[in-house]
Amino acid sequence: MSRLLVSVCDVEEARIALECDADIIDLKNPAAGALGALPPETLREIVNVVAGRKPVSATIGDLPMIPEQLAAAARVTAETGVDIVKIGFFGHAGHETCIAALQALATDGIRLVAVLFADQRPDLKSATRFAHAGFYGVMLDTAAKNGQGLRHYLSDAALGAFVAESQTHGLLAGLAGSLTIADLDALLPLQADYLGFRGALCANASRTARLERARLLRLQNALRVRAEISEVVTD
């Protein structure tokens, strides 16, 4: 069963995610873009609140494909104590030099996750490059937050192939991008390591609104029901 990644933007939301037993607590600023970054002091504060009870990931911001800039931002983010640093690979130009620049951080033990964007026609077979550079994982998301979800841009078959290719190379594979409860029946059989949610858990289904406990509990219940059904079927 895929684990649940919940994106939060402050301590209060992180506490809700903890209390609702999210598997991964993801730190980002939704008002600052697809992978908007929170200030380092906010990251440290949330890391201290989580206190190792769950893995914590954090984004470095919607940055251009400039190797030195990405590497510097990733290192600063890692130094806040988060477990995973997520880096957006926007567009198509400059990816190779950026991967090379980030390899040193992976060698130092920093867990890096490359984020590709389904609405930018990414190379879905790029797992080899990230694996060779020592990345911890890869994920698919959407860059444009316009109400169109991940499955609007890529077929379920393409998503499944991405997950399988990534896992074959030893990478953690994640799927996100305006996902809703209605997507679960199609996405869970793909066996991604985690599914990422934000907008569906917020007031008015707006990713820049506040995360709501009731919506998160509803999602957790939907996941639990599907897990129980899966166990009955496999038995």
pLDDT tens per residue across span 103-162: 999 999 999 999 999 999 999 999 999 999 999 999 999 999 888 999 999 999 999 999
**Conformational region of residue 177, where left means phi above 0, alpha means psi within -120 to 50, and beta covers everything else:** left
Q: Is 28 a catalytic residue?
A: yes
76-96 average pLDDT score: 97
Helix, strand or coil, per DSSP, at residue 7: strand
Rg (CA), the chain: 17
Average pLDDT estimate for 41-45: 98
Q: Which pLDDT value is given to residue 231?
A: 65
pLDDT band at 229 (very low <50, low <70, confident <90, very high): confident
Q: Where are the alpha helices (DSSP H) in the chain?
A: 11-19, 40-50, 67-78, 95-107, 127-132, 150-153, 156-168, 184-187, 213-234
pTM of the model: 0.95
At 146 the pLDDT is 86
Is 125 among the catalytic positions?
no
Closest CA to 148 of 193, 180, 102: 180
Report the share of the chain in percent with pLDDT over 70.
97
pLDDT at 235: 54
- The answer to whether 102 and 112 are in contact (CB under 8 A) is yes
CB contact at 8 A, 90 and 143: yes
Look at 234 and 119; give whichever has higher pLDDT: 119
User: Which residue has tokens 């393409």?
Assistant: 158
pLDDT at 31 > cutoff 80: yes
pLDDT of 215 over the 70 cut: yes
Average pLDDT over residues 50-79: 98
What integer pLDDT is reported at residue 147 of this predicted model? 82
Residue 232 has pLDDT above 80, yes or no: no
Report the chain's mean pLDDT, rounded to a whole number. 96
Residue of 167, 121, 124 whose CA lies nearest to 144: 121
Residue tagged active-site, from 54, 86, 125, 145: 86
Among the listed residues 28, 54, 125, 145, the single catalytic one is: 28
Structural domains of the chain ordered from first start: 3-234 (3.20.20.70)
Q: What tens digit of pLDDT does each residue of 152-201 get?
A: 999 999 999 999 999 999 999 999 999 999 999 999 999 999 999 999 99
71-82 per-position pLDDT tens digit: 999 999 999 999
Average pLDDT in the 87-114 region? 97
